[in-house]
Amino acid sequence: MIDCDEPKITNGNVNLGFDNITTYGATATVTCDTGYKATNETIVCLHSGIWDNTSCVLIDCGDVADINFGNITLNEANTTTFLDNATATVTCNIGYQATNENISCQADAAWEVTFCEIIDCGNATDIDFGNITLNEANTTTYLDNATATVTCDIGYQATNENISCQVDGTWEHTSCEIIDCGDVADIDFGTITLNGSNITTYLDNATATVTCNIGYQATNENISCQVNGTWEDTSCEIIDCGNVADINFGNITLNESNTTTYLDNATATVTCNTGYQAINESISCQVDGKWEVASCVIIGCGDVADVNFGNITLNEANTTTYLDNATATVTCNIGYHATNENISCQVDGTWEVTSCEIIDCGDVADINFGNIILNEANTTTYLDNASATATCNIGYQATNENIYCQVDGKWEVTSCVIIDCGNVNDIDFGNINLNIGNTTTYLDNATATVICNIGYQATNENISCQVDGTWEDTFCEIIGAKLSTILPESLNCEPYLT
């Protein structure tokens, strides 16, 4: 009987099966140690009494193959066996990626399969609250620098607005997030308050109000949550009206040098040229950061007003300004007089005040040595032809017995003067001598004696000062003058007259 005996193998073992038969025709399975492989995994006991030839040889994957669009490099030079855990790295050209970047020598003595394929990110995926659009139709590869634009619905913003196909074959990550500006920030010299409690999103039209401290103003009083997810800029700036402006026909001067802020109560004085007036003489820096409005306007008194019981006429037609020295004349009706007959346009832009008042001479005045009585009780006006009678004490006479209220509003002048007959007059053919030296008044009962020449006699030998302030009449007449009418002219009486 042909018997091949129990087979032996290096770096492995042979399994005869459960019956351990080694005779002609028997089979055995060859199992190699790790890292080795049988040249013939099943052997047969031959007629020659020997087993089929086999051996466990080292598993060697050999050199790595060339690949399109890249290359493969052993991780350890000349190490290509399974026993040594030989590996290689696959490096692809730009725009390509390996289906397997790291390959190993396998138990079947072949390298793991790999190749370089073009990096294609494919169609961009759908996103919530927006969409992604290729910037170039059908271009989705890394090699072609494929990009896409992210457009979000109103109220949302992209975490990445422009995405690119990446080297790993995926699109850059992006999403549409609700635009939320978050809490409003603190600001110097003021506060910001949400207009709606906890409403801070663009979708909800979130707004806030800026309130500044006194003396400060907001650069933006009402701010909104913006589409970029930030609140509009604002700040509280000091209210500064700046330098006062130039004005026509005058100038403005700060009341305190370099003080132009509302916080400092800045004020300025407006001074106008002669003939002009300020519509606001003192101006202040206002809360809106502007000076109060001021200007110098020509001082125009306008048309003269109507006046009761008279009229006012411009002295020069259409000339009503202070600059032109405008004047007007006041003419009152009969019985009235102007309180100011000539009025001027004043520096405050008004005409001087005037009126036509009734001419009233008022009560008659007291006079010395007499009195004055109205001829009609309570009638003292020129319009009513008011008059009064002057009555003097004994020994006095009125300079004007009947006085009238005059157009100038005054009573005619009168007084009670002592009745003085004055010096006695000279008379023909005689003389008159005061009986008491220098006494010539009616009050003193002044008298005088008349002495006529020889042949003459006084018509009144003693004369008195009369109440009308004249001496009684007298003269010296020839004695017997009445006989001359019956005596002949031839009778010569002259010797007897001498």
Using one digit for the tens of pLDDT, what is the confidence trace for 344-378? 999 989 999 999 999 999 999 999 999 999 999 99
**Mean pLDDT on 87-110:** 94
The matching CATH number, chosen from 3.30.1340, 2.40.50, 2.10.70, 2.30.110, for 370-418 is 2.10.70
Buried b (16+ CB within 10 A) or exposed e, 168-181: ebebbebebeebbb
Distances (CA, A) of 399 to 369, 370, 417, 418, 420: 12, 12, 7, 10, 13
Does the pLDDT value for residue 343 go beyond 90? yes
Cβ within 8 Å of residue 74, ≥6 positions away: 64, 80, 86, 87, 88
Residue intervals of the chain classified under CATH 2.10.70 are: 130-178, 190-238, 250-298, 310-358, 370-418, 430-485
Instruction: Give the architecture-level CATH label for domain 190-238.
Output: Ribbon (2.10)
pLDDT at 492: 45
CATH number 3.40.1350 is the correct assignment for the domain at 130-178: no
CA distance 299 to 350: 9
Query: Beta strands 36-38 and 12-15: pairing type?
Result: unpaired
Domain 310-358 grouped into CATH 2.10.70:
yes
Question: pTM score, two decimals?
Answer: 0.47
- Residue whose structure tokens are 């000279």: 426
Q: How far is CA 210 from CA 179, 189, 223, 245, in A?
A: 21, 11, 8, 30
Query: Residue 87's pLDDT is what?
Result: 96
Query: Is residue 496's pLDDT more than 90?
Result: no
The first and second tokens of residue 27, run together, are 């089979």
Is residue 291 within 8 Å of 270, Cβ to Cβ?
no
State the pLDDT confidence band at 438, using cuts at 50, 70 and 90.
Answer: confident
Query: HSE-up of 264 (CA within 13 Å, CB side)?
Result: 15
The pLDDT, as a whole number, for residue 232 is 97
φ/ψ of 277, rounded to 5, equals -135, 150
pLDDT for 30 equals 94
Q: Which two tokens stand for residue 263?
A: 């916080």
Tokens of 82: 């399974």
Q: Which of 270, 268, 240, 272 is nearest to 254 (CA)?
A: 268
Residue found by looking up tokens 């002044």 in the block = 446
Whole-number mean pLDDT of the chain?
92
Radius of gyration of the chain (CA): 72
pLDDT of residue 480: 84
**pLDDT, position 436:** 86
Name which of 435, 496, 482, 427 is nearest 458 in CA terms.
Answer: 427
pLDDT > 90 in the chain, percent: 89
Q: What is the CATH number of domain 430-485?
A: 2.10.70
Spatial distance between the Cα atoms of 366 and 208, rounded to a whole number of angstroms: 87
Q: Compute the average pLDDT of residues 179-201.
A: 95
For residue 113, give Cα distances in angstroms to 30, 69, 81, 247: 28, 15, 16, 92
pLDDT of 486 > 60? The answer is no
The pLDDT of residue 481: 60
Fold adopted by 250-298: Complement Module; domain 1 (2.10.70)
DSSP 372-403: EEESSTT--BTTTT-EEEEEE-TTEEES-SEE
pLDDT at site 17? 79
Tokens of 252: 């403005």
Task: Answer whether residue 99 shows pLDDT above 50.
Answer: yes
